[in-house]
Amino acid sequence: ITPNSPLEQFAILPLIPMKIGNLYFSFTNPSLFMLLTLSLVLLLVHFVTKKGGGNSVPNAWQSLVELIYDFVPNLVNEQIGGLSGNVKQKFSPCISVTFTFSLFRNPQGMIPYSFTVTSHFLITLGLSFSLFIGITIVGFQKNGLHFLSFLLPAGVPLPLAPFLVLLELIPHCFRALSSGIRLFANMMAGHSSVKILSGSAWTMLCMNDLLYFIGDPGPLFIVLALTGLELGVAISQAHVSTISICIYLNDATNLHQSAYLFIIEQKRG
């Protein structure tokens, strides 16, 4: 029995190769699985809101969709303080799409024989990088060049300022990378470990030895537990990446100011 490499599950295979000059636009298996998940989500939302918006007393599926939909405006309200009501919700659709993207695509990889889209660095980096560029543009749009004052926290003595600005700039730019890496590393590590352990369980099964056969439930049980852990990690990583994007948005629009101060100002005024 030739053992397959546990990293083979991450191979990108072009299903419909399309090439224009030196650029490849092939339809690959990540594209296929992203399309599949997208159509499943759209079908779910469609069936829930059939007949003009569902029932006012929801059934189970409608409850689920409502809970997912409700999650984002609450998050936006909480995290991005200091703006008026309708300005806050301006970011809601983008964050909602990011959240739904990771919430449905992370667990989709848990389905056996399927491909985890978010376990590829390219995809998660593309998402986080474009969001980071968008957030920087929003910051400059809202605060002008004053946005750069975000790099210097309050109460810093002047001789230290140049070093601190440089020191703040590096983590700020690293945020783009870190969001992508966080999601990618979690997904890839989880899937690799599940594959490696199941590979060892399979090898133990296949060896015609009684001792190995008795010891086989050990890795089997660990794989079972890991599957549960993976599902939990998938959902929580979606949550964490959405919250971190809200925090970066808050930093960009409010520039280190505490949301608490804005609440006090609103109550006074």
Partner 1 sequence: MRLSSTNMQARKMLFAAILSICASSSKKISIYNEEMIVARCFIGFIIFSRKSLGNTFKVTLDGRIQAIQEESQQFPNPNEVVPPESNEQQRLLRISLQICGTVVESLPMARCAPKCEKTVQALLCRNLNVKSATLPNATSSRRIRLQDDLVTGFHFSVSERFVPGSTLKASIVELIREGLGVLKMVQVGE
Residues of this chain that bind partner 1 (CB under 8 A): 4, 56-60, 63, 110-113, 194-195, 198-199, 201-203, 205, 220, 223-224, 227-228, 231
Q: How far is the CB of 7 from partner 1 (least distance, A)?
A: 13
Q: Which residue, 60 or 211, is less far from partner 1 as judged by CB?
A: 60
Q: Which residue, 69 or 140, is less far from partner 1 as judged by CB?
A: 69
Q: Which residue, 231 or 243, is less far from partner 1 as judged by CB?
A: 231
Cβ-count burial 3-28 (b if 16+ within 10 Å, e if not): eeebeebbeeeeeeeeeeeeeeeeeb
Q: How far is the CB of 145 from partner 1 (least distance, A)?
A: 43
Q: How far is the CB of 72 from partner 1 (least distance, A)?
A: 18
Q: Which residue, 59 or 130, is less far from partner 1 as judged by CB?
A: 59
Contact criterion met (CB below 8 Å) for 238 and 186: no
Alpha-carbon distance of 178 to 241, in angstroms, equals 10
Structure tokens at 133: 């560029």
Pairing of strands 14-16, 27-28: antiparallel
Handedness of CA 186, 130, 245, 150 (dihedral sign): positive
Chain centroid offset of residue 204 CA: 36
Residue 119: name the closest of 4, 248, 10, 268 by CA: 10
Q: Which residue, 31 or 62, is less far from partner 1 as judged by CB?
A: 62
Show the CA angle centred on residue 70, arms to residues 262 and 253, nearest 5°: 30
Q: Could you tell me where the DSSP H helices lie in the chain?
A: 29-48, 50-53, 60-79, 85-88, 92-108, 121-143, 161-206, 210-215, 217-254, 259-268
Q: Which residue, 161 or 205, is less far from partner 1 as judged by CB?
A: 205
Q: How far is the CB of 66 from partner 1 (least distance, A)?
A: 9
Q: How far is the CB of 205 from partner 1 (least distance, A)?
A: 8
Q: How far is the CB of 224 from partner 1 (least distance, A)?
A: 5
Handedness of CA 246, 248, 251, 252 (dihedral sign): negative
Q: How far is the CB of 223 from partner 1 (least distance, A)?
A: 5
Q: Which residue, 126 or 217, is less far from partner 1 as judged by CB?
A: 217
Show the CA angle centred on residue 175, arms to residues 182 and 130, nearest 5°: 90
